[in-house]
């Protein structure tokens, strides 16, 4: 049985899910022993610890110039001291060019089988990836397991399915027969899906696998070779993915350099040199808007970006204000606001929010919101694990600086002791009241656990400001609360024009931060927050070109 035959049932389900947009998950998201094995967690933790203070020698890449690595655990605030092979850009490019001409000639079926087999191998390593993610990003254990393991694998599978479908959209050959009266013109026609070349995937520090695997697998399924350039602060999680891809390639007598890991260090970064190299044709990027815009402006490249944005919450009317405040408080606390989908700007009418029991004043909602944040933070069984740790010291500094924002501090940020990691770098959310005229304050992303409660004239101004911010600065998510059908439709229509998806009236166990593979399009590509979307057809069709040949049929 070929690898394609082995994995075809799952691939078929994934392709069906792409069309139906209903719930589908190939990889169970709960780290239950019944699913992954009784010792899976302990084994994964032990494997992670075994990486520390050593060389990472799982890659099939050879002839490293030197070894290096600068990852630091936000929980321990100590370096991991894991060393990775470092390569010259010229070596990475030469290896990728050579591998490309072998990989591009592999059939779409065989590529799909190989890539899905790599995901099956990665599944056995979800727990070590979880601990690697915790100690590079600061995510809490559950988020680290889910986001870097099963959710990332589902996103990768989604990219494989989308690419495979597009590669098979048209026939590879046909007989073209045109009647001309007394005779026919007959041509044999063939079409080839030609990959563009070398693909560069630039990783981020907060979600090193979830944000990278779509580009990696999207480029590989369409026949491109890939160079994965992780963030210097978060290498290990994606290194494990790349190692498994290389393992499966090698087992199938293929060049492992079809997917290379290009590690660099903060003092000698190679991102620009790689991005500007003429042989790099595709670039996937997650990170700040300044660098993302630079990449988008490079000539001769097809670039897919997810950049920064200003995410809004529009509060008009509610059924149960306490449930709303609890849901939004969790969204702000989740991973200490370090998600690209986390809420920042909360638009609240000056005369309050409508509810079945009457108006809820601006101040009352602000107090309920702050109380819910404190309640979660102070819950020893939940708070430390929901907030996790702050990945970057600059984020901690930004939270401290935000106290100087021109407005009223409703809730100050504070530190607390994580029961498992005494030295964890932590900061609870800060909540600040800001007037709607202060666009210079809320008209930019304030990355981290920072929530701005913006007092507006009415809901119409709230909608207008949320739309304006999305159009001008980008937005990846938006939440809205209303019991009015007409207001609901106005918000949906106005934010759609700003290319921003809206989560309406969430009060239960689902939050505006979360996006589901096979159903939610992550980023729309329609506003400054990014020019691409996980995973619409354009995300894969731009990675290859249809080329046709034709020839008269011989008599």
When pLDDT is cut at 50, 70 and 90, the band that residue 223 belongs to is very high
Quote the pLDDT of residue 255: 98
- Whether 178 is in a domain gets the answer no
Quote the pLDDT of residue 195: 98
Q: Which of 339, 294, 531, 524 is nearest to 447 (CA)?
A: 339
The Cα 149–Cα 146 span in angstroms is 5
| Strand bridging mode 173-179 / 225-229 | unpaired
3-state SS class at 259: strand
pLDDT(20) > 90 = yes
Same domain flag for 368 and 500: yes
Task: Please check whether residue 346 is in contact with residue 313, taking contact to mean a CB–CB distance below 8 angstroms.
Answer: yes
pLDDT(417) > 90 = no
Quote the pLDDT of residue 169: 96
The Cα 430–Cα 296 span in angstroms is 34
- Whether 190 is in a domain gets the answer no
- Whether 526 is in a domain gets the answer no
- Whether 14 is in a domain gets the answer yes
Q: Which of 488, 184, 82, 444 is nearest to 318 (CA)?
A: 488
Task: Please check whether residue 284 is in contact with residue 229, taking contact to mean a CB–CB distance below 8 angstroms.
Answer: no
Same domain flag for 78 and 38: yes
pLDDT, tens digit, 9 for 90 and up, residues 145-166: 999 999 999 999 999 999 999 9
The Cα 135–Cα 205 span in angstroms is 11
Within 10 angstroms of residue 182's Cβ, the number of other Cβ atoms is 5
Same domain flag for 323 and 338: yes
Helix H, strand E, coil C: the string for 290-302 is HHHHHHHCCCCCE
When pLDDT is cut at 50, 70 and 90, the band that residue 301 belongs to is very high
For the chain, give the percent of residues with pLDDT over 70: 100
When pLDDT is cut at 50, 70 and 90, the band that residue 467 belongs to is very high
Average pLDDT over residues 104-110: 98
The Cα 172–Cα 70 span in angstroms is 48
The Cα 377–Cα 330 span in angstroms is 10
Same domain flag for 56 and 113: yes
Same domain flag for 146 and 218: yes
Could you check whether the bond before residue 535 is cis, i.e. omega within 30 degrees of 0?
A: yes
Provide the CA 102 distance to its chain's centre, in angstroms.
29
- Whether 152 is in a domain gets the answer yes
Q: How many domains, the chain? A: 2
Report which secondary-structure segment, H or E, holds 67. Answer: strand 66-68
At residue 49, φ and ψ (nearest 5 deg) are: -60, -30
Quote the pLDDT of residue 236: 98
- Whether 525 is in a domain gets the answer no
DSSP result, 162-202 = HHHHHHTSS-SEEEEEEE-SSSEEEEEEEEEEEE-SEEEEE
The Cα 333–Cα 448 span in angstroms is 10
When pLDDT is cut at 50, 70 and 90, the band that residue 508 belongs to is confident
When pLDDT is cut at 50, 70 and 90, the band that residue 416 belongs to is confident
Where in the sequence is the domain holding 394, given as residue range(s)? 312-504
Q: Give the full edge-to-edge strand order of the sheet including 430-435.
A: 408-411, 430-435, 450-456, 345-349, 312-315, 478-481, 502-504
Whole-Å CA distances, 277 to 94, 222, 232, 274, 401: 11, 21, 20, 5, 39
Q: In 393-458, which residue ranges form alpha helices assigned H by DSSP?
A: 393-401, 439-442
> Could you tell me which residues come within 8 angstroms of residue 254 by beta carbon, excluding any fewer than 6 positions away?
102, 103, 106, 114
Task: Please check whether residue 551 is in contact with residue 188, taking contact to mean a CB–CB distance below 8 angstroms.
Answer: yes
Please, what is the average pLDDT of the chain?
Answer: 97
Q: Which of 428, 474, 497, 485 is nearest to 312 (CA)?
A: 474
Torsion of CA 529, 532, 535, 540, to 10 degrees: -170
For the chain, give the percent of residues with pLDDT over 90: 98
Same domain flag for 74 and 217: yes
The Cα 73–Cα 48 span in angstroms is 12
- Whether 512 is in a domain gets the answer no
Quote the pLDDT of residue 33: 93
Same domain flag for 333 and 290: no
Quote the pLDDT of residue 523: 96
Provide the CA 480 distance to its chain's centre, in angstroms.
23
Same domain flag for 214 and 322: no
Same domain flag for 106 and 221: yes
Terminal Cα-to-Cα distance of the chain (whole angstroms): 40
DSSP result, 205-235 = SS-TTTTTHHHHHHHHHTT-EEEEE--TTS-
Same domain flag for 278 and 297: yes
Torsion of CA 10, 12, 17, 20, to 10 degrees: -160
- Whether 238 is in a domain gets the answer yes
Q: Which of 193, 446, 192, 205 is nearest to 309 (CA)?
A: 446
Average pLDDT over residues 288-307: 96
Same domain flag for 302 and 316: no
Quote the pLDDT of residue 224: 98
DSSP one-letter code for 464: H
Quote the pLDDT of residue 555: 78
- CATH code assigned at 492: 3.40.309.10
Sign of CA dihedral 471, 477, 482, 488: positive
Same domain flag for 262 and 296: yes
């Amino acid at each position: 049985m070929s690898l394609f035959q082995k994995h075809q049932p799952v691939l078929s389900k994934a392709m069906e899910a792409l069309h139906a947009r209903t719930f589908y998950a190939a990889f169970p998201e709960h780290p239950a022993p019944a699913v992954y094995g009784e010792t899976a967690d302990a084994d994964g933790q032990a494997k992670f610890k075994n990486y520390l203070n050593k060389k990472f020698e799982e890659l099939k890449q050879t002839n490293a110039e030197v070894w290096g690595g600068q990852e630091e655990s936000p929980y321990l605030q100590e370096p991991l001291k894991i060393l990775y092979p470092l390569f010259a850009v010229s070596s990475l490019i030469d290896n990728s060019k050579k591998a490309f001409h072998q990989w591009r000639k592999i059939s779409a079926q065989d590529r799909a089988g190989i890539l899905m087999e790599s995901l099956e191998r990665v599944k056995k390593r979800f727990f070590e990836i979880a601990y690697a993610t915790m100690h590079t990003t600061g995510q809490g254990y559950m988020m680290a397991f889910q986001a870097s393991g099963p959710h990332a694998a589902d996103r990768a599978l989604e990219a494989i399915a989308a690419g495979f479908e597009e590669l098979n959209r048209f026939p590879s050959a046909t007989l073209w027969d045109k009647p001309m009266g007394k005779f026919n013109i007959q041509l044999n026609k063939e079409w080839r899906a030609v990959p563009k070349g070398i693909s560069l995937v630039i990783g981020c520090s907060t979600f090193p696998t979830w944000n990278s695997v779509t580009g990696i697998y999207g480029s590989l399924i369409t026949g491109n070779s890939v160079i994965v350039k992780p963030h210097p602060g978060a290498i290990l999680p994606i290194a494990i993915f790349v190692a498994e891809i290389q393992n499966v390639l090698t087992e199938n007598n293929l060049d492992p350099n079809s997917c290379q890991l290009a590690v660099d260090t903060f003092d000698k970064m190679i991102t620009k040199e790689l991005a500007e190299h003429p042989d790099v044709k595709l670039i996937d990027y997650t990170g700040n808007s300044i660098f993302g815009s630079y990449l988008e402006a490079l000539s001769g490249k097809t670039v897919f970006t997810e950049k920064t944005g200003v995410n809004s919450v529009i509060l008009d009317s509610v059924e149960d204000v306490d449930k709303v405040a609890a849901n939004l408080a969790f969204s702000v606390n989740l991973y200490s606001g370090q998600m690209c989908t986390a809420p920042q700007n909360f638009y609240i009418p000056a005369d309050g929010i409508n509810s079945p029991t009457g108006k809820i004043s601006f101040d009352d909602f602000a107090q309920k919101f702050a109380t819910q944040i404190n309640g979660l933070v102070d819950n020893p069984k939940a708070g430390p694990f929901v907030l996790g740790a702050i990945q970057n010291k600059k984020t901690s500094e930004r939270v401290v600086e935000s106290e100087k924002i021109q407005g009223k501090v409703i809730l100050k940020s504070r530190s607390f002791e994580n029961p498992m990691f005494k030295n964890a770098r932590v900061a609870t959310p800060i909540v600040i009241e800001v007037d709607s005229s202060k666009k210079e304050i809320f008209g930019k992303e304030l990355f981290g656990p920072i929530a701005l409660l913006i007092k507006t004239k009415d809901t119409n101004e709230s909608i207008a400001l949320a739309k304006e911010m999305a159009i001008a600065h980008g937005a990846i998510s938006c939440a809205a609360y209303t019991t009015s059908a007409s207001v609901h439709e106005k918000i949906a229509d106005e934010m759609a024009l700003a290319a921003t998806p809206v989560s309406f009236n969430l009060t239960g166990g689902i939050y505006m931060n979360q996006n589901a593979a096979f159903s939610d399009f992550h980023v729309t590509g329609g506003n400054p927050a990014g020019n691409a979307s996980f995973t619409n057809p354009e995300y894969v069709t731009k990675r290859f070109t249809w080329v046709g040949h034709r020839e008269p049929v011989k008599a």
